[in-house]
Amino acid sequence: MMTLAAALLLGMIPQDEARLKEAWPKLADAWKAVAEYKVPAGSGELDDEFLKVAGKLRDAFEAGGLFVEDGEYAPLALKAFIKVRARALAPSGVSSWDGRGARIAILRRVVAGGMPGAPPVPGAPVPVESNPMGALLRSLEKLKELKVGGLDDEENVQDEMVTVRKALKLLGITADETPAALRRRIFSLIRALALGEAYPEWPKATEEQAKQFRAWVSELGNESIEAREKATKELLRAGEASLPFVREALKGADAEIIARARQLLGIGHAPWKTVRPQQSMDWGVETLVVPAPAEAPAAPAPPPKKEEKK
Protein backbone atom coordinates (compact mmCIF):
# COMPACT_ATOMS: atom_id res chain seq x y z
CA MET A 1 0.00 0.00 0.00
CA MET A 2 1.37 3.37 -0.99
CA THR A 3 2.19 5.63 1.91
CA LEU A 4 1.00 9.24 2.00
CA ALA A 5 4.57 10.51 1.67
CA ALA A 6 5.18 8.34 -1.39
CA ALA A 7 1.89 9.47 -2.94
CA LEU A 8 2.84 13.11 -2.48
CA LEU A 9 6.28 12.57 -3.99
CA LEU A 10 4.80 10.66 -6.90
CA GLY A 11 2.46 13.53 -7.64
CA MET A 12 5.41 15.92 -7.75
CA ILE A 13 7.59 14.17 -10.35
CA PRO A 14 9.41 17.18 -11.82
CA GLN A 15 10.63 18.10 -15.27
CA ASP A 16 13.21 15.72 -16.76
CA GLU A 17 15.13 15.33 -20.02
CA ALA A 18 12.31 13.75 -22.03
CA ARG A 19 10.87 17.12 -23.07
CA LEU A 20 14.36 18.55 -23.41
CA LYS A 21 15.15 16.02 -26.13
CA GLU A 22 11.96 16.85 -28.04
CA ALA A 23 12.67 20.58 -27.80
CA TRP A 24 16.34 20.27 -28.80
CA PRO A 25 15.90 21.67 -32.36
CA LYS A 26 14.19 24.78 -30.97
CA LEU A 27 16.83 25.18 -28.26
CA ALA A 28 19.62 24.85 -30.83
CA ASP A 29 17.92 27.43 -33.10
CA ALA A 30 17.46 29.85 -30.19
CA TRP A 31 21.10 29.44 -29.14
CA LYS A 32 22.23 30.17 -32.71
CA ALA A 33 20.05 33.29 -32.79
CA VAL A 34 21.63 34.47 -29.52
CA ALA A 35 25.13 33.85 -30.87
CA GLU A 36 24.45 35.73 -34.11
CA TYR A 37 22.68 38.73 -32.59
CA LYS A 38 24.63 41.98 -32.74
CA VAL A 39 23.89 44.60 -30.13
CA PRO A 40 23.21 47.85 -32.00
CA ALA A 41 25.08 50.99 -31.07
CA GLY A 42 22.83 53.69 -29.76
CA SER A 43 20.66 54.59 -26.82
CA GLY A 44 20.03 51.03 -25.73
CA GLU A 45 16.43 50.82 -26.90
CA LEU A 46 15.11 47.35 -27.71
CA ASP A 47 15.27 46.63 -31.43
CA ASP A 48 13.15 44.21 -33.47
CA GLU A 49 15.95 41.64 -33.84
CA PHE A 50 16.39 41.50 -30.05
CA LEU A 51 12.67 40.82 -29.64
CA LYS A 52 12.86 38.04 -32.24
CA VAL A 53 15.69 36.37 -30.33
CA ALA A 54 13.79 36.75 -27.06
CA GLY A 55 10.75 35.15 -28.70
CA LYS A 56 12.78 32.16 -29.88
CA LEU A 57 14.17 31.68 -26.38
CA ARG A 58 10.71 31.80 -24.88
CA ASP A 59 9.32 29.26 -27.35
CA ALA A 60 12.29 26.93 -26.78
CA PHE A 61 11.96 27.13 -22.99
CA GLU A 62 8.24 26.46 -23.26
CA ALA A 63 8.76 23.44 -25.53
CA GLY A 64 11.46 22.05 -23.24
CA GLY A 65 9.37 22.49 -20.09
CA LEU A 66 12.04 24.77 -18.65
CA PHE A 67 9.71 27.30 -17.07
CA VAL A 68 9.80 25.40 -13.78
CA GLU A 69 11.66 25.87 -10.52
CA ASP A 70 11.99 22.20 -9.62
CA GLY A 71 13.37 19.44 -11.77
CA GLU A 72 16.40 17.39 -12.63
CA TYR A 73 19.71 19.15 -12.42
CA ALA A 74 20.81 18.70 -16.05
CA PRO A 75 17.94 20.47 -17.88
CA LEU A 76 17.69 23.27 -15.33
CA ALA A 77 21.46 23.77 -15.41
CA LEU A 78 21.23 24.05 -19.20
CA LYS A 79 18.53 26.70 -18.76
CA ALA A 80 20.76 28.64 -16.35
CA PHE A 81 23.64 28.40 -18.84
CA ILE A 82 21.52 29.80 -21.69
CA LYS A 83 20.31 32.62 -19.46
CA VAL A 84 23.88 33.62 -18.62
CA ARG A 85 24.75 33.73 -22.31
CA ALA A 86 21.61 35.67 -23.20
CA ARG A 87 22.29 38.38 -20.61
CA ALA A 88 24.99 39.75 -22.89
CA LEU A 89 22.20 40.78 -25.28
CA ALA A 90 20.69 43.28 -22.85
CA PRO A 91 20.74 46.82 -24.26
CA SER A 92 23.39 49.14 -22.86
CA GLY A 93 23.18 52.77 -21.94
CA VAL A 94 19.91 52.48 -20.01
CA SER A 95 19.55 55.34 -17.57
CA SER A 96 17.04 57.06 -15.35
CA TRP A 97 16.78 59.68 -12.61
CA ASP A 98 16.31 58.85 -8.98
CA GLY A 99 14.11 60.81 -6.61
CA ARG A 100 17.00 62.97 -5.40
CA GLY A 101 17.97 64.42 -8.73
CA ALA A 102 20.92 62.09 -9.37
CA ARG A 103 21.17 60.23 -12.66
CA ILE A 104 21.47 56.43 -12.37
CA ALA A 105 23.21 54.98 -15.41
CA ILE A 106 23.36 51.22 -15.99
CA LEU A 107 26.28 50.60 -18.33
CA ARG A 108 28.13 47.63 -19.75
CA ARG A 109 31.59 47.38 -18.25
CA VAL A 110 34.04 46.42 -20.96
CA VAL A 111 36.75 44.19 -19.57
CA ALA A 112 39.61 42.30 -21.16
CA GLY A 113 38.07 39.46 -23.08
CA GLY A 114 34.60 41.03 -23.16
CA MET A 115 31.40 40.47 -21.23
CA PRO A 116 30.96 37.28 -19.22
CA GLY A 117 28.13 36.25 -21.50
CA ALA A 118 29.92 37.34 -24.66
CA PRO A 119 31.65 35.06 -27.16
CA PRO A 120 35.43 35.13 -27.32
CA VAL A 121 37.22 37.51 -29.65
CA PRO A 122 38.75 35.38 -32.46
CA GLY A 123 42.47 34.91 -31.93
CA ALA A 124 42.52 36.74 -28.60
CA PRO A 125 43.32 35.10 -25.26
CA VAL A 126 40.22 34.61 -23.14
CA PRO A 127 40.80 35.08 -19.38
CA VAL A 128 38.51 32.66 -17.60
CA GLU A 129 38.29 34.79 -14.43
CA SER A 130 36.93 37.89 -16.19
CA ASN A 131 35.07 36.17 -19.03
CA PRO A 132 34.16 32.60 -18.08
CA MET A 133 31.56 32.24 -20.83
CA GLY A 134 34.00 33.35 -23.52
CA ALA A 135 36.72 31.07 -22.17
CA LEU A 136 34.31 28.14 -22.04
CA LEU A 137 33.13 28.61 -25.63
CA ARG A 138 36.70 28.96 -26.87
CA SER A 139 37.74 25.75 -25.09
CA LEU A 140 34.77 23.87 -26.56
CA GLU A 141 35.82 24.99 -30.04
CA LYS A 142 39.39 23.94 -29.30
CA LEU A 143 38.23 20.50 -28.15
CA LYS A 144 36.27 20.15 -31.39
CA GLU A 145 39.35 21.09 -33.43
CA LEU A 146 41.45 18.51 -31.57
CA LYS A 147 38.84 15.83 -32.18
CA VAL A 148 38.59 16.62 -35.89
CA GLY A 149 42.38 16.52 -36.16
CA GLY A 150 42.59 13.24 -34.29
CA LEU A 151 44.59 14.92 -31.53
CA ASP A 152 42.05 14.56 -28.72
CA ASP A 153 44.24 12.40 -26.51
CA GLU A 154 44.18 12.87 -22.75
CA GLU A 155 47.31 15.04 -22.66
CA ASN A 156 46.05 17.49 -25.31
CA VAL A 157 42.56 17.93 -23.91
CA GLN A 158 43.64 18.25 -20.28
CA ASP A 159 44.29 22.01 -20.34
CA GLU A 160 41.03 22.75 -22.13
CA MET A 161 39.04 20.59 -19.71
CA VAL A 162 40.60 22.44 -16.77
CA THR A 163 39.32 25.69 -18.31
CA VAL A 164 35.88 24.16 -18.94
CA ARG A 165 35.53 22.95 -15.35
CA LYS A 166 36.70 26.29 -13.93
CA ALA A 167 34.41 28.31 -16.20
CA LEU A 168 31.35 26.23 -15.31
CA LYS A 169 32.05 26.76 -11.62
CA LEU A 170 32.56 30.51 -12.05
CA LEU A 171 29.27 30.73 -13.96
CA GLY A 172 27.51 28.89 -11.15
CA ILE A 173 26.46 25.98 -13.38
CA THR A 174 28.38 23.38 -11.39
CA ALA A 175 29.73 23.28 -7.84
CA ASP A 176 32.19 21.18 -5.86
CA GLU A 177 29.33 19.10 -4.50
CA THR A 178 27.80 18.38 -7.94
CA PRO A 179 28.03 14.60 -8.49
CA ALA A 180 30.47 13.62 -11.24
CA ALA A 181 27.77 11.91 -13.31
CA LEU A 182 25.70 15.11 -13.37
CA ARG A 183 28.75 17.24 -14.22
CA ARG A 184 29.49 14.99 -17.18
CA ARG A 185 25.87 15.13 -18.32
CA ILE A 186 25.62 18.92 -18.29
CA PHE A 187 28.99 19.12 -20.06
CA SER A 188 27.61 16.87 -22.82
CA LEU A 189 24.51 19.05 -23.17
CA ILE A 190 26.42 22.34 -23.15
CA ARG A 191 29.02 21.11 -25.64
CA ALA A 192 26.34 19.90 -28.06
CA LEU A 193 24.36 23.12 -27.76
CA ALA A 194 27.36 25.42 -28.20
CA LEU A 195 28.76 23.48 -31.15
CA GLY A 196 25.43 23.00 -32.93
CA GLU A 197 25.44 19.22 -32.49
CA ALA A 198 22.53 16.81 -32.14
CA TYR A 199 20.99 16.03 -28.78
CA PRO A 200 23.51 13.93 -26.83
CA GLU A 201 21.89 10.60 -26.08
CA TRP A 202 22.47 8.89 -22.75
CA PRO A 203 25.20 6.24 -22.70
CA LYS A 204 23.48 2.88 -23.12
CA ALA A 205 23.98 0.26 -20.44
CA THR A 206 24.84 -3.29 -21.37
CA GLU A 207 22.48 -6.07 -20.32
CA GLU A 208 24.77 -6.93 -17.43
CA GLN A 209 25.03 -3.29 -16.35
CA ALA A 210 21.26 -2.83 -16.53
CA LYS A 211 20.77 -5.82 -14.25
CA GLN A 212 23.23 -4.39 -11.75
CA PHE A 213 21.74 -0.88 -11.87
CA ARG A 214 18.24 -2.21 -11.16
CA ALA A 215 19.60 -4.19 -8.24
CA TRP A 216 21.25 -1.11 -6.76
CA VAL A 217 18.09 0.96 -7.27
CA SER A 218 16.06 -1.62 -5.33
CA GLU A 219 18.68 -1.49 -2.57
CA LEU A 220 17.96 2.23 -2.11
CA GLY A 221 14.94 1.16 -0.05
CA ASN A 222 16.71 -1.53 1.97
CA GLU A 223 15.92 -1.62 5.69
CA SER A 224 19.65 -1.37 6.41
CA ILE A 225 21.00 2.16 6.19
CA GLU A 226 24.42 0.74 5.36
CA ALA A 227 22.95 -1.08 2.34
CA ARG A 228 21.12 2.07 1.23
CA GLU A 229 24.28 4.17 1.48
CA LYS A 230 26.33 1.57 -0.39
CA ALA A 231 23.79 1.41 -3.24
CA THR A 232 23.73 5.22 -3.47
CA LYS A 233 27.52 5.37 -3.73
CA GLU A 234 27.60 2.61 -6.35
CA LEU A 235 25.05 4.41 -8.52
CA LEU A 236 26.99 7.67 -8.17
CA ARG A 237 30.16 5.86 -9.18
CA ALA A 238 28.43 4.17 -12.14
CA GLY A 239 27.97 7.47 -13.96
CA GLU A 240 25.54 8.66 -16.63
CA ALA A 241 24.50 5.21 -17.82
CA SER A 242 22.81 4.48 -14.48
CA LEU A 243 20.70 7.65 -14.35
CA PRO A 244 17.84 6.48 -16.64
CA PHE A 245 17.32 3.54 -14.25
CA VAL A 246 17.33 5.94 -11.31
CA ARG A 247 14.73 8.07 -13.08
CA GLU A 248 12.43 5.07 -13.41
CA ALA A 249 12.50 4.78 -9.61
CA LEU A 250 10.58 8.07 -9.35
CA LYS A 251 7.50 6.19 -10.57
CA GLY A 252 7.66 3.69 -7.72
CA ALA A 253 5.84 3.65 -4.38
CA ASP A 254 8.75 3.50 -1.91
CA ALA A 255 9.30 6.93 -0.35
CA GLU A 256 12.93 6.18 0.58
CA ILE A 257 13.79 5.05 -2.95
CA ILE A 258 12.09 8.10 -4.44
CA ALA A 259 13.92 10.46 -2.08
CA ARG A 260 17.32 8.95 -2.91
CA ALA A 261 16.52 8.89 -6.62
CA ARG A 262 15.75 12.62 -6.50
CA GLN A 263 19.11 13.18 -4.82
CA LEU A 264 20.94 11.16 -7.48
CA LEU A 265 19.21 13.11 -10.28
CA GLY A 266 20.17 16.42 -8.69
CA ILE A 267 16.60 17.54 -8.05
CA GLY A 268 16.91 20.64 -5.90
CA HIS A 269 20.63 21.04 -6.68
CA ALA A 270 20.92 24.57 -8.11
CA PRO A 271 24.42 26.12 -7.77
CA TRP A 272 23.34 29.13 -9.86
CA LYS A 273 21.05 30.21 -7.02
CA THR A 274 23.84 30.32 -4.44
CA VAL A 275 26.75 31.61 -6.52
CA ARG A 276 28.69 34.41 -4.83
CA PRO A 277 27.71 37.96 -5.87
CA GLN A 278 31.03 38.60 -7.61
CA GLN A 279 30.44 35.46 -9.65
CA SER A 280 26.81 36.07 -10.47
CA MET A 281 25.08 36.54 -13.78
CA ASP A 282 25.25 40.33 -13.28
CA TRP A 283 28.98 40.54 -14.06
CA GLY A 284 29.95 43.31 -16.36
CA VAL A 285 27.20 45.65 -15.22
CA GLU A 286 27.97 48.70 -13.15
CA THR A 287 25.67 51.30 -11.65
CA LEU A 288 27.10 54.78 -11.90
CA VAL A 289 25.56 57.64 -9.97
CA VAL A 290 26.07 60.91 -11.81
CA PRO A 291 25.19 63.98 -9.70
CA ALA A 292 22.58 66.23 -11.25
CA PRO A 293 23.94 69.53 -12.61
CA ALA A 294 23.97 72.19 -9.95
CA GLU A 295 21.56 75.04 -10.44
CA ALA A 296 23.18 78.27 -11.62
CA PRO A 297 23.51 80.77 -8.75
CA ALA A 298 21.14 83.68 -8.85
CA ALA A 299 22.56 86.92 -10.23
CA PRO A 300 23.62 89.32 -7.45
CA ALA A 301 21.24 92.19 -6.75
CA PRO A 302 22.40 95.55 -8.15
CA PRO A 303 23.82 97.94 -5.52
CA PRO A 304 21.39 100.57 -4.22
CA LYS A 305 21.54 103.89 -5.99
CA LYS A 306 23.06 106.75 -4.07
CA GLU A 307 20.84 109.72 -3.61
CA GLU A 308 22.14 112.89 -5.30
CA LYS A 309 22.67 115.90 -3.10
CA LYS A 310 20.39 118.81 -3.88
What's residue 298's pLDDT? 57
What's residue 140's pLDDT? 95
For 222-274, the pLDDT digits (tens) are 999 999 999 999 999 998 899 999 999 998 999 999 999 999 999 999 999 98
Please report the sign of the dihedral spanned by the C-alpha atoms of residue 250, residue 255, residue 256, residue 260.
Answer: positive
Identify any residues that bridge with 103 across adjacent strands, giving them in sequence order.
Answer: 97, 290
For 46-69, the pLDDT digits (tens) are 788 889 999 999 999 999 999 988
pLDDT band at 11 (very low <50, low <70, confident <90, very high): very low
For 188-205, the pLDDT digits (tens) are 999 999 999 999 998 889
Helix (H) / strand (E) element for 145: namely helix 132-148
pTM score of the predicted model: 0.75
Is the pLDDT assigned to residue 309 strictly greater than 70? no
DSSP-based helix, strand, coil % in the chain, nearest 5: 55, 5, 40
**Domain extents in the chain:** 4-201+270-290
Q: What is the pLDDT of the chain when averaged over all its residues?
A: 79
Is the pLDDT assigned to residue 32 strictly greater than 90? yes
